[in-house]
Amino acid sequence: MRGKLVHSFRWALSALVLGACGPTEVAEDTVAGVGESTQAVLYPPPAPASGNIVDSTAFLGPVSVGGAVQAQFTANPQFFSFSFRVQPGAQVKLEVTHLGSSMYLDTGLFLYGPRLANGSWGTNMVALDDDAGYGQLSKIAAVALSQGGEYLAVVSSGSGAGKQFRLQLDCLNGLCAPQALSLVEVPPSSGLAAAMAAGNARCDTGENWCDGILDTYNVSGAHGLDAVASAAAYASLGELMDYWRFERWPNGESWADFLQEHGSWWLELQQVLPAELAGGAVPQVAHYYASYPVAPGAKDYHHVYVFYFPQTNRVAVLQHITHEI
């Protein structure tokens, strides 16, 4: 990768038209270069069938802006990914640094995001670089991220097996650190109240199979589901969450999972909630659960669903309590 790339989004889009059967080699002399251009190769991660680019990488976890991370390539080609969070309007520099990287290493650097409401990073490439750094190392000198949230940085190499790299992230304008998370309770609208009343009436039919409680909140800033879910569940449950030791559902939950598990009790809510809180967008979902005795030979099964809409910084907590009759 010896030619300098022009960071053209037209080129970036064409680079994303990838085959499903392995990495695509992108010849650099297919684009206008700064100075001489040679027949070098850039390796973007191949587009996976899932549509979530992280599935084509070895994901090594989060890194803070202002921090750095090191890893070693063990195969050719190979793709390592790291996530980081920023506020809206952040300007970030990403660089595979000379310090901490092996000599003669040739890398590519790609940026995707922000992460979508369904948890996927999609395949939307925000920025890329070949060798704007030292030698054949990569550097995105400045990228403006108008949307806050979680982004995915990918470092690749087609010939790096046995060599290590160091990725450094820096903030250029002081807007990178995620804001502290706080919740402000907002009373449910009349539409949500009516939807809950209809669901509770359905629950009460016959032998009072279940009960439901809905709380809604505004969330400060851009945050991940885990942080929001923990704060919102505690805000809704209070001391009950600690006392009964609610546990997070071990497998990732989705809106579709909620509809399958308990949606039949809350037919109106499943229409009104996304419409009112996020214009119809599907929320990210976390699910907590506990069971406890309420009478001799009878238990309550207490489900707590956290529905997070990062597009609007809104969150709703539905407590669905099934009674053992």
Q: What pLDDT, on a 0 to 100 scale, did the predictor assign at position 6?
A: 35
- Indicate if 228 and 161 belong to the same structural domain: no
Q: Could you tell me if 116 and 194 lie in one domain?
A: no
Q: Which residue range is the domain that position 308 belongs to? A: 183-323
> What integer pLDDT is reported at residue 126 of this predicted model?
95
Q: What pLDDT digit, counting tens, does each position of 188-232 carry?
A: 999 999 999 999 999 988 666 899 999 999 998 777 787 888 889
Residue 136 has pLDDT above 80, yes or no: yes
Residue 279 lies in a domain: yes
pLDDT at 35 over 80: no
Other beta carbons within 10 Å of 112: 26
Structure tokens at 262: 């308990």
CATH number at residue 158: 2.60.120.380
**Are the CB atoms for 321 and 299 separated by under 8 Å?**
no
Question: What is the domain-level CATH number for residue 222?
Answer: 3.40.1000
Mean of the per-residue pLDDT values of the chain:
84
Decide if 178 is inside a domain: no
Q: Are residues 229 and 255 in the same domain?
A: yes
Q: Which residue has the higher pLDDT, 10 or 147?
A: 147
The pLDDT value given to residue 36: 33
Dihedral sign of CA atoms 44, 45, 49, 50 in order: negative
What is the value of pTM for the model shown? 0.54
H helices, E strands: number in the chain: 6, 19
pLDDT of amino acid 169: 92
- Tell me, yes or no, whether 155 and 228 share the same domain: no
Residue 82: both structure tokens together: 């790291």
Window from 84-93, 177-186, 236-245, 286-295 with minimum mean pLDDT: 236-245
For residue 165, tell me if it sits in a domain. Answer: yes
* Same domain, residue pair 16 and 62: yes
pLDDT band at 52 (very low <50, low <70, confident <90, very high): very high
Q: Where is the domain boundary, 171, 198, 227? A: 171
- Length of the chain measured in residues: 325
Number of other residues whose CB lies within 10 A of the CB of residue 310: 25
243-253, pLDDT tens digit by residue?
556 888 766 68
Please indicate, yes or no, if residue 119 is contained in any of the structural domains. yes
**Residue 73 confidence class, pLDDT cut points 50, 70, 90:** very high
Domain count within the chain? 2
Residue 190 CA to chain centroid, in angstroms? 31
3-state secondary structure of 320: strand
Confidence of residue 67 (pLDDT cuts 50, 70, 90): confident
Q: At what angle do helices 269-278 and 190-204 cross, to 10 degrees?
A: 160
Q: What is the pLDDT of residue 40?
A: 52
pLDDT tens by residue, 53-64: 999 999 998 888
Average pLDDT over residues 162-174: 93
What is the DSSP track for 155-170?
A: EEESS-TT-EEEEEEE
* Cα 73 to Cα 98: distance, rounded to the nearest angstrom: 16
pLDDT band at residue 42 using 50, 70 and 90 as cut-offs: confident
For 217, the 3-state DSSP assignment is strand
Q: Is residue 176 part of a domain?
A: no
In a domain, 177, yes or no: no
Residues 203, 138: Cα–Cα separation, whole Å: 59
22 shares its domain with 133:
yes
How does pLDDT run across 260-311, given as a tens digit for each residue?
999 999 999 999 999 999 999 999 999 988 888 888 888 889 999 999 998 8
Residue 22's pLDDT is 40
Give, in degrees to the nearest 5, the angle at Cα 110 between 8 and 150. Answer: 115
pLDDT-wise least confident of 13-27, 80-94, 135-149, 213-227: 13-27
pLDDT at position 221, please? 74
> Would you say residue 68 has pLDDT above 80?
yes
Q: Where is the domain boundary, 148, 171, 194?
A: 171
Q: Same domain, yes or no, for 162 and 26?
A: yes
In a domain, 130, yes or no: yes
Same domain, 39 and 124: yes
What pLDDT score does 121 carry?
A: 87
**Which residue, 145, 171, 197, sits at the end of a domain?**
171
**Residue 318 pLDDT:** 97
Asked if 54 and 110 sit in the same domain, the reply is yes
Task: For residue 293, tell me if it sits in a domain.
Answer: yes
Q: Do 152 and 243 sit in the same domain of this protein?
A: no
Do residues 9 and 156 both lie within one domain? yes
The stretch 147-165 carries a mean pLDDT of 94
Question: Do 242 and 117 have their domain in common?
Answer: no
Q: Which of 2, 168, 6, 43 is nearest to 95 (CA)?
A: 168
Rg (CA), the chain: 24
Q: What is the pLDDT of residues 221-235, one digit of tens each?
A: 777 787 888 889 989
What confidence score (pLDDT) does residue 4 get?
39
